[in-house]
Structure formats: structure tokens, C-alpha cells
């Protein structure tokens, strides 16, 4: 090997590697978390996201339809609208009108009242 080849190889070894981009992104996320409480973070970070096949129940925010049935998420139609289906009903609801069913509700095969839910949590 010639001196110029050896010199070139040693220069290549000393070059710094490119910076990892994840470090910069992490510091931005940490800064945001330090300045905002969880409840103050942008809506897209707090929005509930359901998967097709999830079992859900209607919440009290659902004013147009009352049912204690368990529903299965069938489809997401728009940004926050979901098609859900029970044995008797197929309805379109907003994300605010449903929540994931609890284990106690899955066992009971229906939506529980607040009192029943509290009792199920202690037993």
C-alpha cells in the first residue's frame, strides 16, 4: 500500500458518524411533556382509538340510543365515527359515545351500571 492510501483510510476512520435523528425527536417530546399536563396535550394524543373487533359499550354521552348491549366495532367511517354492531342493532356513533367494555361487562355480557361496576371492581 502506498502512503496516500494509508493516510486516506485513517482519515475515513476518524470521520464522525451521522447524528441519530431519534434523539432530537425525543427531546422535543420531552419538552412538550414538561410544559403540558396530560389533559392539556393536543386532542389527537388523548383521543380514544378502537380497533375493528373491539368490544365496546355505549356511554351516557350517547343521547339518541339507549342500550345495555355489548357492541363489536365493525368499521371506522370517518375521523371519529364508528360502525358498531350488537346482536340486535347496527349503529353509527362518535368516539365520545362509546368506551371499551370492562372485564366485568364481558363476563356479564352487558353494560353494567356504575353501582354494579363498583361492586365488580371490589370483588
Q: What is the mean pLDDT of residues 34-57?
A: 65
Identify any residues that bridge with 19 across adjacent strands, giving them in sequence order: none
Question: For residue 104, what pLDDT is reported?
Answer: 94
For 60-65, which contacts have Cβ atoms below 8 Å and span 24 or more sequence positions?
A: 61/96, 61/97, 62/93, 62/97, 62/98, 65/89, 65/91, 65/93
What average pLDDT is seen over the chain?
74
Question: For residue 61, what pLDDT is reported?
Answer: 76
What contacts 38, CB < 8 A, 6 or more positions away? Answer: 46
The structural domains of the chain, with segments of one domain joined by +, span: 3-43, 48-122
> With bands split at pLDDT 50, 70 and 90, how would you rate the model's confidence at 22?
very low
C-alpha 28/C-alpha 18 separation (Å) is: 19
Question: For residue 120, what pLDDT is reported?
Answer: 86
Domain range 48-122, CATH architecture: Roll (2.30)
Residue 57 in this model has a pLDDT that exceeds 90 = yes
Dihedral of the CA atoms 62, 63, 66, 71 (nearest 10)? -20
C-alpha 99/C-alpha 109 separation (Å) is: 15
Question: For residue 112, what pLDDT is reported?
Answer: 92
Amino acid at each position: 500500500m502506498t502512503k496516500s492510501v494509508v493516510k486516506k483510510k485513517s482519515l475515513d476512520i476518524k470521520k464522525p458518524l451521522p447524528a441519530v435523528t431519534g434523539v432530537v425527536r425525543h427531546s422535543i417530546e420531552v419538552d412538550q411533556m414538561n410544559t403540558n399536563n396530560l389533559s392539556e396535550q393536543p386532542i389527537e394524543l388523548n383521543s380514544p382509538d378502537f380497533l375493528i373487533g373491539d368490544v365496546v359499550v355505549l356511554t351516557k354521552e350517547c343521547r339518541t340510543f339507549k342500550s345495555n348491549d355489548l357492541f363489536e366495532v365493525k368499521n371506522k367511517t370517518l375521523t371519529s365515527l364508528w360502525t358498531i354492531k350488537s346482536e340486535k342493532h347496527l349503529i353509527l356513533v362518535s368516539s365520545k359515545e362509546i368506551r371499551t367494555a370492562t372485564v366485568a361487562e364481558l363476563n356479564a355480557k352487558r353494560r353494567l351500571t356504575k353501582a354494579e361496576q363498583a361492586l365488580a371492581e371490589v370483588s
